Amino acid sequence: MRKPNRHFLLHVGGGKSAVCRWGMAVPLASMVCLLAILFLLSACHYPRPDLSSADLPEKTKDSLRYLYERHYTWNTNLEVMADSVSLVCPPIKDTYISLYQGDRVVVAEFAVHPADTVDSIWVKLAHTQEEQGWIRESDLKHSFVPADSISQVIYLFSRTHVSYFIAILVLFIGAYLIRAIWLKQLKLVYYNDIDSIYPLCLCLLMAFSATLYESMQVFVPETWEHFYFNPTLSPWGVPWVLAVFLSSIWLFLIVFLAVVDDLFRLLLPETALFYLLGLVCACIFIYFFFIFTVHFYVGYLFFLLFVYFCFKKMVCSSGKYLFRCGNCGEKIKEKGQCPYCGAINK
């Protein structure tokens, strides 16, 4: 009678030990996941400058602090993008300086006005030695753009009316291409594709870049704003999310060159140009589609589906051409007459 009881007690003790081990493992795993998420989120931001050094002058510390908090600082060059902008010239009341599109200014000073209910941060801008005035920071970001060419390209592609114009243009060209494909059976990415994986890779890279770009706008807008005021084309020395984004842009350009090389090697020049035009339209459509859908979070599901169908198409296409013509060396689907040179392959 005692042996079963002793066996039963040992069994229960082992169960409690297992439960304890699982009870410790679950919080440990949760803690590791939480630390990983915190690490990834912190790696999405620019590091805070170290202002503890006594060797740094106070003005340098203030400049670095403004650069981290406001994303721009003293002596930052800006260009007017609005039709006209008015700068306030205190202490004389109702005195303004007018600047016009294309005029360049430099940030001269910052001031905080807590009584201003619209925007407490005011920025002093200098156009010339004689023409200097103040403007609210919100109005500055709306009417000015950094003088750097990369920042101006970012501003151009983020303008709403430009986006709508490009979308309408893509719809028009897409309708024309669909008609041309229906009548002449032209080549088109994914549907009547060429014997190359580069076009699908290009579309995948565009979808990935657009998804990552809009994700930064939604989750870490301050990181993108800092990059906007301090742009670079190098993926080094920036937060990892920007490094991945810039790397995808460079990889996109490399794959695009590979696509062009394959097109003019496999197709006639006229057919290659039509295919390239359709591919550009497809990439622009993919860009706007994921920019819109990721903003509402459903774009991540569409991105996974898009990756699945693209890889499925690549796998199916890899076994599409099983033979090579013994006369011209071109890939063919099956034995028989070669569609390129007319030779009979047995």
197-251 confidence digits (pLDDT tens): 888 899 999 999 999 999 998 888 999 999 999 999 999 888 988 999 999 999 9
Dmax over CA atoms of the chain, in Å, equals 105
| Contact call for residues 334 and 345 (beta carbons, < 8 A) | no
* pLDDT digits 0-9 by tens, 33-42: 445 444 555 5
Q: How far is CA 33 from the centre of its chain?
A: 26
- Report d(CA 82, CA 91) in Å as an integer: 26
| CB < 8 Å & 24+ apart, contacts of 299-308 | 299/211, 299/214, 300/211, 303/207, 303/208, 303/211, 306/204, 306/207, 307/204, 307/207
> Alpha-carbon dihedral of residues 65, 67, 73, 79, nearest 10 degrees?
-160
Distances in whole angstroms, Cα of residue 215 to Cα of each of 53, 155, 219, 284, 300: 36, 18, 6, 18, 10
* pLDDT digits 0-9 by tens, 79-136: 999 999 999 998 877 788 999 999 999 999 988 888 888 888 999 999 998 899 999 9
| Residues 6 or more apart in contact with residue 228 via CB below 8 angstroms | 71, 146, 151, 154, 155
Task: Name 323's bridge partners.
Answer: 332
Q: Is the four-CA dihedral 135, 139, 140, 143 of positive or negative sign?
A: negative
pTM for this predicted structure:
0.75
